[in-house]
Amino acid sequence: MMGLFAILVIWNLVVFVIYGEDKRRAKRGLWRISEKTLLLSAVLFGGIGALLAGHVFHHKTRKVYFQIIWWIGVIIDCVAIVAIIRNLT
């Protein structure tokens, strides 16, 4: 079960990096990561990473639908963490 927790942490780090990379590309006028990819990565167990990245990089914070998806992702992450902890005991 600790392996699942490690995967969850790594995935959230990946999502954090994806959001940071999209912000970097936005600043440089390069080809962007699609909003669909950003939103899916957040809702599919990456809510914590997306929420943190949004605030650290000041990226997509004005878009309400991103904030809604981020918080849904955080809730999904929390449910997964609780399930992992319950299976450990």
What would the DSSP string read from start to end of 2-69?
HHHHHHHHHHHHHHHHHHHHHHHHHHHTPPPPPHHHHHHHHHTT-HHHHHHHHHHTT-STT-HHHHHH
Residue 83 has pLDDT above 80, yes or no: yes
Q: What is the pLDDT of residue 30?
A: 97
Q: What is the pLDDT of residue 56?
A: 98
CA pair distance 37, 79, nearest whole angstrom = 22
Contact between 47 and 71 under an 8 Å Cβ cutoff? The reply is yes
Q: What is the pLDDT of residue 25?
A: 97
Residue type, 1: M
- What average pLDDT does range 45-73 have in this prediction? 97
